[in-house]
Every structure is written in C-alpha cells, then in structure tokens.
Chain A
Amino acid sequence: MDAFTKLTGIAAPLPMANVDTDKIIPARFLKTIARTGLGKSLFANLRYKEDGSENPDFVLNQEPYRHAEILIAHENFGCGSSREHAPWALLDFGIRCVIAPDFADIFHNNSFKNGILPVRLPRAVCDQLMEDAKLGANARLTVDLERQVVVRPNGEEIPFEIDPLRRYLLLNGLDDIGQTLQQVTAIDGFEAKQRAAQPWLYR
C-alpha cells in the first residue's frame, strides 16, 4: 500500500448523496481476480452510454477532471455492498482522496486499507469545496494528512478529524496484518481459553 502524506491535485465535484457501490463499480465488473485495472469501469453506468461511448455530461469525462485525484460528494458516500472493488476502482482511476459529509462504514474502512483518504467535512464546507472544484485546473486542492488540513485554492485551511491509528498507518503505508501478527501470543491465549470454555467451536 502506498503511503499518503500530502496530495495537491484536481478535485472533481460529484454533487450526489447516497453514491452507492453499485454506482461506483457495477457488479458485472467484479469478476476479476486482480486488484488493478478497474479504473476504466469506475462509475461505468454514469460514465458510459449504452453503446459504450462516453457520456460527455459526466464530470470524469470532462477536462480537467479526467485527471482528478480528489472527489467531492454529498452524504453517505459508498453505501451498499462491501466490495473492495469500489476503492480499487477509484484508486486505479487515480483518486486518492474522497471528501464528503459522511461515509458508509464498510467503504470507509476499505478506503484506508487501500491508501485512499476519506475526509469528513460538514455539508456546507463540501459545497464550498465543490464550488472551488468547479473552477477547474487552476483551482487545485491540497489535502495534507500530516497537518490534518484541506487547503483551498485561496489558501484558506480547513482542519479535519481522523482516527490517530488510521492516520499513522496511512502516513507510513503500513499493512495491518503484519501489525496484528505481532500479537500472535495474545491470539493463541484467547483461543486456548475459548477452547476450554466452548470446545464445540473447535473441530
């Protein structure tokens, strides 16, 4: 997983609430056994017409948003399925940060595990950032995880909250399986105790 420290880039405005995971990546694209290559299918139902050609009205088909690294949306982003293909598709497209008033829990978890930073900011702030984003290539946003601020094109800094452990893992690009395996003695101990109390759970 790539570390996330500070990102300055183009932000795409997606003024929709309840952007569900079937919108982010429809189920027919989940038949992959790889983590990469899903970027072309990101938002497929909104991004392409029935004949497969691009829908020019969709923001990611417009310049400069084809090169967006940040996405700004409305409430409850990522609701629905647990598919990690949703963050994989965002990442493969080039998006490393999603800013929204709130996120569905599983998507929120999955993002961190793939080096994508989900930033929660109040709706009014998201709307303001969306106005900034509409100014295009000259209006880049900076997301600074070290300092926990989003910097608007006019230099104004907006602080955001983040779980300290998640921030640490993301800043250092750490895989949490390695971390957990350092606790293997504690896991062994738990299993020994549970096996004694509830032997039927072990075969």
Chain B
Amino acid sequence: MSATKPRTLFDKIWDAHVVETLPDGTALLYIDRHLVHEVTSPQAFEGLRMAKRQVRRLDGTMAVVDHNIATDASRFTGIADPESRVQVETLEKNVAEFNVPYIPLADARQGIVHVIGPEQGLSLPGMTIVCGDSHTSTHGAMGALAFGIGTSEVEHVLATQTLLQKRAKNMRVTVEGTLPVGCTAKDIILAIIGKIGTAGGNGHVIEYAGSTIRALDMAGRFSICNMSIEAGARAGMIAPDETTFEYVKGRPFAPQGEYFDRAVEWWKTLPSDEGAVFDKEVFLDAAEIVPMVSWGTSPEDVLPITAAVPDPEAAADEARRTQLRRMVEYMGLTPGQKLSDLKVDVVFIGSCTNSRIEDIRAAAAIARGRKVAEGVRAMVVPGSGLVKHQAEQEGLDAIFKEAGFEWREAGCSMCLGMNPDKLKPGQRCASTSNRNFEGRQGPGGRTHLCSPAMAAAAAITGHLTDVREIG
C-alpha cells in the first residue's frame, strides 16, 4: 500500500500489526493484548497442554473471572454451583500452570473483563486486542482494534500471539449534533442498530465519528463500541483524542512519563485521514434520537419509548410476519399496546455495556430520593471492584439502598443467565445489557434493553418509562 493513500483508523492499526501476508491475502496479524476469562478458555489451555505448547507472551495476557460468579456475599464463601466452580477452578489451575497474570475473585480490581481492560490501562489506543467474548468490541472505544474470538483462536493467540485474519471492510457511522435531553450513548447505539439491523455491519469494522461521538465521555464511547457486535460488526472503533489520552494517563498498565508522551505522539497519528474511503457510510442526526427501548427478541427490534408494540401482520413479507408473531408471543405483548404501559418485574443495571461509574451515577440521579415500585426487584451491579469502591466513596450505594435497589458485587450478573442472577420464565426486565435474545437472561425471560437512566426510571414507576417525564 502506498504511503500517500489516505487510510482509515482501522487501516492504520491493521497495517501496523501485519506480520506476514499469505498468498491468498490472509494476514498473520500480531495481537498486543489478550484478555482471558473462565468460559471460553478451558479447552484452549487443554489444547496447549496436549500439544506441549507454552503461552508466547505472558506480559501480553491477562486473565480474570467474571461470567460465572455470584454477585452477592455468597461468592466469598465459595461458588455453590458445581459446574461454575469447576470452570473457575480450571482457570485458576491453568493460569498457575502457564504463569498467566490473573486477577482473582478476591482482588479489589476484579470485574467484567471489558470494564477492567481499559480501567487497568491494559487496553490502549493503537493496540490489537482480543478476548474469547464477542463484546471485546468495547475496547475499540480507546481507538484500538478489538474483537471477539472463539476458543480455537484463543488457543492460537496463546501459542503464537497472532491470528490468521481476513481484512474487514471499513464502515463509518457518523452522528452529528447535540444529543437531546434524556438521551445517552445507549440510545445512540440502539438507534444505530435499529437503523442498520443486526447484520448491517457483517464483514465490516465500524468507526463511529461525528460531533456527537466526539462529545461523549469514555463510558459512553464504551457503550457504543460494545454493541457493535449486535449490528454484526466484529469491531467498533472511535478515534483517540484528548478525552482518550486523559482517560489513559496514570492507569497502572499504561505507559508512564516519557513513554506516555511518546505513545501519545503515535496515537495522534491514528485518526482516519481526510479523504479516506469507507466501503459503507451511515449518517444519523442526533437531534432525532429519543430514549429507546427494545421490544422484541433481536437488538434491531428497538423503538422510541413513546411508540407502541408493532403489529406483525403489517410486516412486508411472510418470513418477517412469522418472526414478529413469534416475538410478540414470546415477549407476552399485544400489538398496539403502548411500550410505556409494560409493567416490569425486574430491573438490571450493569453488564459490560453499562456498569461504569458514569452509568451508575446516571441511574443514581434518577433513584435519588425515590422508591422502587412495589413488587419490582431492582439490582445495580458495578462493572468492577474499583467502580464499586468509587461509587461508595460518592455515596451512591446509599442512594440505591435507600430507594430499595440491591447493591451488588462486580460481575457479568444478569446479562447472560450463566450465574445465579437470572430471570424466571415470564419475568419482564428493563435491562442495561446488550442482548434481548430469547432466554438470554434466563429461560423464558423477557428483556427490554435501555439506558441506565431509563432502567432506573422503570424501577421507580414499575413500568417502562420515558425518563424525560421523571426529570
């Protein structure tokens, strides 16, 4: 590639990490950071052991437990579920055997892998970052190329610090203007997925750009990049800028002193060049965004909170009608019913999408001086031990407890139904997580995705609520 051709942020990071290009165009891509958790790694370590292979870059690898663990006090006395316990113990055995750096459950830094990567400075601009989890796209908010991989690829990275990859296409989503009151980064990404669909980003890496994106704090940027995979894109990215550098500065694993200044110099060269070509472009006007909520069982099935449940019979083709009928039935809805009339049983504030201190503050601002509605179970699950500590320093835990929310320990919690935090069949949940698939939060559970403020509002009123009416 000639040096003069304008390149995108993705192109630049990609080019800087190509070890070799195979004759068919597949690249052997170098991986700077590999994050490992208990669910997708046991079979990878087993593979290494069987082939008598070592971990190539211990200093490029970090392991943590998050998916399986309880988020109440029971976690301090051992994991009750035998299968979960075996999975966590297997990770502990593997990190000990292979000398992999590890943040154990008892460590104050423990938390969701996609929260602690950036928080510890493990994820930096310009890096290639992978993890055996599709929400690795989160780290792209740092101005990194970050994507989820399967277990075979986890093993491949452990053994070689590289991956065989085909270059993705470039897609840019530009959001311009001032975000209306009551709207957050979560509403932006839900609106984007609603617009382009769950396969809209397949084969692409999405760069989010425009004045609305640039104005977001890091927490908002993480929420947006996090859900890129829900639009089908393996990675989402945001150009690193002063907001990013300020966030990185001083973090434990970040470059310090002179190294930091040198790093910033390089990071400043990363944003897409003027005139760089994108294979696909999408534009959104921030002024048109309203607080969003998902109504169906795919993240593309989102609507403004002011809307009503759609009528499946109004869909254009029979395949879509069948799909929508199934969704309406599974979700226990009636076409034409106002979304704001839907009563909730559970409210979940947490997950790698929305569990950072800024998210917790947004929820606390709604909860302050109010009470959780009768019969609603509301839980707040910080993304890491450090987020929890910070929130407690600010007195946010007291606000939540006073209002009747559960204040819990860090972990993936009710995002994915593989730890004790699960929905019961038929329960309806306002959730700040990322997927509303059938059974995602527990078999038969009904998920409505929304922002932390919207979730907190639903907890207070007992039904899906337009946060703008709460104020």
Chain A contacts to B: CB under 8 angstroms: 15-18, 20, 22-23, 26-28, 30-35, 45, 50, 74-76, 79-84, 87, 102, 104-106, 109-110, 113-114, 163-165, 176-177, 179-181, 183-184, 186-187, 190-191, 194, 198-203
Contacts and interface: CB of A to CB of B under 8 A. Distances in A.
A203 B122 CA distance: 12
B268 interface: no
Contacts of A16: 323
A177 B263 contact: no
Given A32-B83, A110-B150, A177-B160, A27 B202 contact: no
A27 B87 CA distance: 13
A165 B26 contact: yes
Given A17-B323, A82-B133, A198-B263, A176 B199 contact: no
Contacts of B202: 76, 102, 104-105
Given A31-B86, A33-B87, A50-B444, A200 B28 contact: no
Given A105-B232, A177-B53, 19 more contacts: A16-B323, A17-B319, A18-B323, A22-B437, A33-B43, A76-B202, A79-B232, A81-B148, A84-B43, A105-B234, A177-B47, A177-B160, A179-B164, A180-B156, A180-B162, A181-B160, A187-B19, A191-B30, A201-B32
Contacts of B60: 201
Contact of A31 (B84, B132, B263): B84
B284 interface: no
Contacts of A165: 22, 24, 26
Nearest to A199: B259
Contact of B43 (A31, A34, A74, A109): A34
B178 interface: no
A84 B47 CA distance: 14
Contact of B234 (A27, A76, A106, A179): A106
B413 interface: no
Given A23-B438, A74-B319, A203 B59 contact: yes
Contacts of B40: 82-84
A78 to B, nearest CB: 11
A108 to B, nearest CB: 9
B32 A76 contact: no
Nearest to A75: B199
Interface in B41-72: 42-43, 46-47, 51, 53, 56, 59-60, 67-68
A127 B207 CA distance: 35
A180 B53 CA distance: 13
B199 A102 contact: yes
A181 B87 contact: no
Interface residues of B toward A: which range? 35 or more
Given A81-B134, A84-B40, A194-B30, A186 B199 contact: no
Nearest to B30: A190
Contact of A28 (B298, B418, B437): B418
B59 A202 contact: yes
12 contacts: A26-B443, A27-B417, A28-B417, A30-B67, A31-B81, A31-B84, A32-B42, A35-B43, A83-B40, A83-B150, A105-B203, A200-B262
Contact of A183 (B19, B24, B232, B256): B19
B198 to A, nearest CB: 6
A26 B150 contact: no
A20 B434 CA distance: 13
A23 B323 CA distance: 14
B39 interface: yes
B46 A20 contact: no
Contacts of B46: 33
Contacts of A81: 133-134, 148, 435
Given A84-B151, A186-B28, A104 B232 contact: yes
Interface string B158-172: 011110101000000
B152 A114 contact: yes
Interface in B122-167: 127, 132-134, 136, 148-153, 155-156, 159-162, 164, 166
A11 B133 CA distance: 30
Most A CB within 10 A of own CB, among B166, B259, B319, B437: B437
Given A81-B133, A177-B53, A106 B417 contact: no
A180 B30 contact: no
A74 B156 CA distance: 31
Contacts of A194: 30
A191 B416 CA distance: 37
Nearest to B444: A50
A82 B435 CA distance: 13
A186 B39 CA distance: 31
B266 interface: yes
A180 B418 contact: no
A163 B167 CA distance: 13
B439 interface: yes
A18 B370 CA distance: 40
A90 to B, nearest CB: 13
Contacts of A82: 40, 132-134, 136, 148-150
A200 B148 contact: no
Nearest to A86: B150
A105 B153 CA distance: 13
Contacts of B323: 16-18
A45 B19 contact: no
Contacts of A179: 164
Nearest to B60: A201
Given A50-B444, A190-B19, A200-B263, A18 B234 contact: no
Contact of A186 (B20, B86, B203, B298): B20
B57 to A, nearest CB: 8
B39 A30 contact: yes
B439 A106 contact: no
Contacts of B148: 81-82, 106
Contacts of A35: 43
Nearest to B90: A33
A30 B198 CA distance: 23
A107 B12 CA distance: 26
B388 interface: no
B460 to A, nearest CB: 29
